Amino acid sequence: MTFQKKLTTVQRKHRSLLCVGLDTDRQLLPSHLPRTADAVLEFNRAIIEATSDLACAYKLNLAFYEALGNDGWRVTDETLRSIPPSIITIGDGKRGDLGNTAEQYAQALYYEFGFDAVTVHPYMGFDSVEPFIRDADRCAFVLALTSNEGSKDFQRLTVGGRPLYEKVVQTVKKWNKKRNLGLVVGATHPDELKPIRALVPAMPLLIPGVGKQGGDLKLAVRYGCDKDGELAVINASRSILYASSTKNYATAARKEAAKLRTLMQRYQEQFFS
């Protein structure tokens, strides 16, 4: 099954655009849990069990697992094994290096861990991205316009009369021969999200920045989805993971995830029915 087919299938089955970001910081675990790798795994499993029928994807920010040292890759692997296979998994490592190095990253993330998708940056050009898009069943989400404050430092520079992020979008569109490329566009940039979607009407968009970062969820749905109200993967991390610091954290996470999904559904009905 191609990546896009898997994504649209789970979005329709779960009626969801929600991606739960498993950016699990052991220092922010509920107070009854120890600050250990095994506690991170226990926490992740509880969050997944509580939310898996509400989500179309889970995104693991690899920095939080690398910070666990030797145990980090074990926790990554066992977390992925806890996610139902019908749900998209995204390895958020923002990789991008020389071709032979990129091949090793792709091998590790796709075939050792089994992620469906990864995030990559385009600064080093096509040969640094190509290893991630050889298989139509896997997707590379390329950084275009990110949600952080510093995105303006380079991504908005004018190149040939157009902002650099727009050049990235146009170039990635040309690379998308197997329909397995996507773009990362922050929900904190709704004015730019609309024209970006117009440039790539049939490409999946990974949209971080709702929740704690202040992105506009309504506009993320309106401008991030394709014409059918799909192909937007809207990520929320901290607002779900840390909805409660008590022993009822998984119940609180489910409540927050359900609230977000319901809002997204409402906006889908408003704009795409």
71-128 confidence digits (pLDDT tens): 999 999 999 999 999 999 999 999 999 889 999 999 999 999 999 999 999 999 999 9
Q: Can you tell me the mean pLDDT for 214-226?
A: 94
**Which has more pLDDT, 215 or 252?**
252
Count CB-CB contacts under 10 A for residue 78: 14
Count of structural domains within the chain: 1
- Domain of residue 85: give its range: 3-272
Question: Could you identify the residue written with the tokens 């409402």?
Answer: 266
Lowest-pLDDT choice from 75-89, 203-217, 231-245: 203-217
Read off the DSSP letter of residue 18.
E
Residue length of the chain: 273
CA dihedral 152, 90, 13, 177 (to 10 degrees): 80
Tokens of 125: 């050009």
Percent of the chain exceeding pLDDT 90 equals 89
At 95 the three-state DSSP class reads strand
Greatest Cα pair distance, the chain, in angstroms, is 55
Number of helices (H) and strands (E) in the chain: give both, helices first: 11, 10
Confidence at 33, pLDDT banded by 50, 70, 90? very high
Angle between helices 249-272 and 217-224 (to 10 degrees): 50
Q: In angstroms, what is the C-alpha Rg of the chain?
A: 18
Question: Could you identify the residue written with the tokens 């197997």?
Answer: 178
Confidence at 212, pLDDT banded by 50, 70, 90? low
Residue 197 CA to residue 91 CA, distance in Å, equals 23
Lowest-pLDDT choice from 26-30, 208-212, 227-231: 208-212
Residues known to be catalytic: 94
Residue 52: how many CA atoms within 13 Å on its side-chain side?
17
**CATH value at residue 163:** 3.20.20.70
Predicted confidence at residue 149, as pLDDT, reads 82
